[in-house]
Amino acid sequence: MNSQIRYLMCPPDYYDVDYVINPWMEGNIHKSSRDRAVEQWHNLYKILKEHAIVDLVPPQPGWPDMVFTANAGLVLGDRVVMSRFLHKERQGEEPFFKQWFEENGYKIYELPKDLPFEGAGDALLDREGRWLWAGYGFRSELDSHPYLAKWLDIEVLSLRLIDERFYHLDTCFCPLTDGYLLYYPAAFDSYSNRLIEMRVAPEKRIAIAESDAVNFACNAVNIEQVVVMNKASDALKARLSEIGFQLIETPLTEFLKAGGAAKCLTLRVTEPIREEVHANMPVESRIVRMEGHLLDAGLINRALDLVVDNGGSFQVLNFQLGEQRQSTSRAEIKVSAPSHGVMEEIISQLIDLGAVDLPEDERDAKLEPVTVAGVAPDDFYVTTIYPTEVRIQGQWIKVENQRMDGAIAVSQTPQGWVARCKLLRDLEVGEQVVVDVQGIRTIRKTESREKRNAEEFSFMSAGVSSERRVELVVEQVAWELRKIRDAGGKVVVTAGPVVIHTGGGEHLARLIREGYVQVLLGGNAIAVHDLEQAIMGTSLGVDMKRGVAVRGGHRHHLKVINTIRRYGSIAKAVEAGIIKSGVMYECVKNNVPFCLAGSIRDDGPLPDTQMDLLKAQAEYAELLKGADMILMLSSMLHSIGVGNMTPAGVKMVCVDINPAVVTKLSDRGSIESVGVVTDVGLFLSLLVQQLDKLTSPYTAKVS
């Protein structure tokens, strides 16, 4: 027996499963056998007494879980941080444990009342005493960790639990003597797993299988080379013995029914301090404010979910609900993250949702110079489609040329500060670029509920529409097209060759002829197949009138490319009378600018196809400027390219037969985009029919 090591246990006189506060308790209320529990507890007590001193805290009627003394508090040296139980079912244990620590001369630290922390159940010392592993996610709050670091003067490494069966850190994680670690990796998020891998060498990590984890193999008591647990598989036994541990199995099945085993039933109350170890707490906190229709637009839920999903935790400090139908709500949220990297990820996503720093916390954006042309400083802020502002010398500056996936370059001009979205490749040496996530905000329109509903109704709201809704969407797109044309606005169409193969070419040509389209963007293929149809009557060798393959038709498109190459451009071929109809013909005849961006799979290419991709991107961006609406017709490649260049506020309609493509393109988190899963030929034919109805004298009279 080692007289330097002491444990605290609580006899199971009142132990039972009386309520459900974890998944193990479900279906087990009053199902545990008192006699068996007493016997199992005594067996464990006896084993521990052979290796250490065991003190007892008197059990209390009405507090059945007091038997799990691991949750009494966390001890280091002569200090104890008392638990603050999350569930009221256990809060009554707190004074009894506190009394025991007081009577035994510990210096007591108590967390604020509303900050849950469940003691050594969620905080485990590295057995070499180098640092403290602290869990959060279910019972303990991340915000409790900085207190542990301060009070116990130790480095705290925060680990996030993600499997509710392993609700306390000690259910899936057990540091062992000599720096070994027994753990169940699937119980942690990827950030935590990386942290574990950074701190514990591969040969010291014993990752256990789920079958061992559910037997609570990690809920083990380790005293020097001895490991005591409920049960272990042969493989785990072999592994532990290989590295010199003596495994003692002692069944604790009655306690498993309440979600605990050996470690939960004990608290080590002698933990030596290493003098050279000091506090280090990477947990960061920030307070942000959100304003708008937080509840009915679901913004607050999205914000809080994204904080947790990314490994942070939050506390809503203040929530003012809009009192009138029109008025907006306002929330102040304290966000905590286990490291600066995680905090940056969370805050950049919160900025996308319109969150801003509290005015009293506002700081200027951080700037760093470009040192290599075309390369941003590490940690640069990646832009989104939303209108953005950056704070420079106390002033909020609007970012120009807003687009996603760029960097923000800031420069001083005689007129003042200018901030611009720039692509990485356009960054010049010496330019100042915004890094980190401070001093940045996105501007969200907080339209009135009525206006938003009307907009959403008239534009179907963001989302993928099912076949049944196609006609309704077509009707609304037709209205929009009419409205934009009549107001002299700008509609950009991105189209793939499927438009031609599905017979939609004549409809698109008509839209161009009738002034509904101001710009056409696509690749080599839409033009090649349209020209093939115009010159040879086939599309990919299929006769478009009879629907049958033509002999030798597979060569048609190459012959067409060759012809256009002979003339030098599509426009010259139109001029020469070689092309008399089709999409490209209408573009030329109606002075509708087009840009054909090249790709690796292009045949030819046509002389008009821009094979310099950087130039093609620049031409696309130029032609997209000022667009009111973009119709994306069955070209994943070009539509995604266009989507990335387009700021929020431009209406987008994406038509594709593949729901995944539609979801990707229309899921911009803005109300102006709508997806239609349907055949593009059918969509275009319905669209021209609808436009015909709108312009027929009958409809005109009725409306």
Ligand X SMILES: NC(=O)c1ccc[n+]([C@@H]2O[C@H](COP(=O)([O-])OP(=O)(O)OC[C@H]3O[C@@H](n4cnc5c(N)ncnc54)[C@H](O)[C@@H]3O)[C@@H](O)[C@H]2O)c1
Q: Just list the catalytic residues.
A: 168, 264
Report the candidate in 259, 249, 216 with the shortest Cα–Cα distance to residue 47: 249
- H/E run at residue 476: helix 467-486
The SS3 call for residue 260 is coil
Binding of residue 661 to ligand X (CB under 6 A): yes
Binding of residue 528 to ligand X (CB under 6 A): yes
Chosen residue from 16, 436, 608, 656 binding ligand X by CB under 6 A: 656
- Of 434 and 632, nearer to ligand X (C-beta) is 632
Q: Following DSSP, what letter does each residue of 161-221 receive, concatenated?
A: B--GGG-SGGGTEEE-GGG-EEE-GGGB-HHHHHHHHHHS-GGGEEEPPHHHHTTTTTS-E
- Give me the phi and psi of 493, to 5 degrees please: -115, 130
Binding of residue 657 to ligand X (CB under 6 A): yes
Which amino acid is present at 541? G
Largest CA distance in the chain: 103
Chosen residue from 465, 635, 646, 670 binding ligand X by CB under 6 A: 635
Chosen residue from 116, 523, 582, 647 binding ligand X by CB under 6 A: 523
Least Cβ distance, residue 384 to ligand X (angstroms): 23
Indicate the Cα dihedral angle 516, 520, 524, 528, nearest 10°: 30
Least Cβ distance, residue 655 to ligand X (angstroms): 6
- Of 223 and 677, nearer to ligand X (C-beta) is 677
Distance between CA 459 and CA 149 in Å, rounded? 53
The residue with its CB nearest to ligand X is 523
Side-chain half-sphere exposure of 198, counting CA atoms within 13 A: 8
Report the candidate in 423, 434, 347 with the shortest Cα–Cα distance to residue 390: 434
Number of other CB atoms surrounding residue 509 within 10 Å: 24
Least Cβ distance, residue 634 to ligand X (angstroms): 3
Distance between CA 55 and CA 222 in Å, rounded? 17
Binding of residue 518 to ligand X (CB under 6 A): no
Number of other CB atoms surrounding residue 175 within 10 Å: 21
Binding of residue 494 to ligand X (CB under 6 A): no
Least Cβ distance, residue 640 to ligand X (angstroms): 8
Give the binding range for ligand X (CB under 6 A) out of 42-50, 69-77, 336-344, 650-658: 650-658
Binding of residue 560 to ligand X (CB under 6 A): no
For 364, 473, 631, 642, the CA distances from 673, given in Å and listed in that order, are 33, 12, 10, 13
Tallying the residues shown for the chain, one arrives at: 703
Report the alpha-carbon angle 450-453-459, nearest 5.
Answer: 140
Give the binding range for ligand X (CB under 6 A) out of 19-27, 54-62, 308-316, 632-640: 632-640
- Of 354 and 497, nearer to ligand X (C-beta) is 497
Least Cβ distance, residue 514 to ligand X (angstroms): 22
Binding of residue 544 to ligand X (CB under 6 A): no
Residues 24-43 that bind ligand X (CB under 6 A): none
- Of 146 and 523, nearer to ligand X (C-beta) is 523
Give the binding range for ligand X (CB under 6 A) out of 43-51, 65-73, 176-184, 628-636: 628-636
Give the binding range for ligand X (CB under 6 A) out of 162-170, 233-241, 468-476, 635-643: 635-643
Indicate the Cα dihedral angle 568, 571, 574, 576, nearest 10°: -50
Task: Output DSSP code: residue 139.
Answer: S
Two structure tokens written together for 515: 């002034």
- H/E run at residue 464: strand 464-465
459 φψ region: left (φ > 0), alpha (ψ -120 to 50), beta (else): alpha
Distance between CA 178 and CA 203 in Å, rounded? 12
- Of 147 and 620, nearer to ligand X (C-beta) is 620
Binding of residue 477 to ligand X (CB under 6 A): no
Distance between CA 419 and CA 533 in Å, rounded? 47
Binding of residue 358 to ligand X (CB under 6 A): no
Least Cβ distance, residue 665 to ligand X (angstroms): 9
Binding of residue 553 to ligand X (CB under 6 A): no
Contacts of 106 (CB under 8 A, 6+ apart): 75, 78, 79, 80
Report the candidate in 411, 407, 410, 408 with the shortest Cα–Cα distance to residue 424: 407
Size of the site for ligand X (CB under 6 A): 23
- Of 473 and 680, nearer to ligand X (C-beta) is 680
268 φψ region: left (φ > 0), alpha (ψ -120 to 50), beta (else): beta
Binding of residue 641 to ligand X (CB under 6 A): no
Binding of residue 538 to ligand X (CB under 6 A): no
Residues 586-615 that bind ligand X (CB under 6 A): 599, 601-603
The residues pairing with 366 across neighbouring beta strands, listed in sequence order, are: 435
Binding of residue 450 to ligand X (CB under 6 A): no
Distance between CA 82 and CA 95 in Å, rounded? 10
Binding of residue 496 to ligand X (CB under 6 A): yes
Give the binding range for ligand X (CB under 6 A) out of 243-251, 341-349, 520-528, 689-697: 520-528
Number of other CB atoms surrounding residue 85 within 10 Å: 21
Which amino acid is present at 48? L
Give the binding range for ligand X (CB under 6 A) out of 256-264, 362-370, 620-628, 636-644: 636-644
Least Cβ distance, residue 683 to ligand X (angstroms): 8
Least Cβ distance, residue 614 to ligand X (angstroms): 16
Chosen residue from 644, 679, 685, 694 binding ligand X by CB under 6 A: 679
Chosen residue from 21, 159, 525, 621 binding ligand X by CB under 6 A: 525
State the binding string over 379-408 for ligand X (x if CB under 6 A, else -). ------------------------------
Chosen residue from 144, 171, 384, 634 binding ligand X by CB under 6 A: 634
Distance between CA 457 and CA 316 in Å, rounded? 32
Least Cβ distance, residue 500 to ligand X (angstroms): 10
Q: Please report how the helices 636-645 and 613-624 are oriented relative to each other, as an axis angle in degrees rounded to 10.
A: 60
Chosen residue from 502, 518, 666, 673 binding ligand X by CB under 6 A: 502
Binding of residue 694 to ligand X (CB under 6 A): no
Binding of residue 465 to ligand X (CB under 6 A): no
- Of 90 and 556, nearer to ligand X (C-beta) is 556
Binding of residue 680 to ligand X (CB under 6 A): yes
Binding of residue 545 to ligand X (CB under 6 A): no
Two structure tokens written together for 162: 């993600």
Binding of residue 497 to ligand X (CB under 6 A): yes
Give the binding range for ligand X (CB under 6 A) out of 53-61, 459-467, 494-502, 568-576: 494-502
Residues 49-88 that bind ligand X (CB under 6 A): none
Least Cβ distance, residue 540 to ligand X (angstroms): 9
- Of 235 and 613, nearer to ligand X (C-beta) is 613
Residues that bind ligand X (CB under 6 A): 496-498, 502, 523-525, 528, 599, 601-603, 634-638, 656-658, 661, 679-680
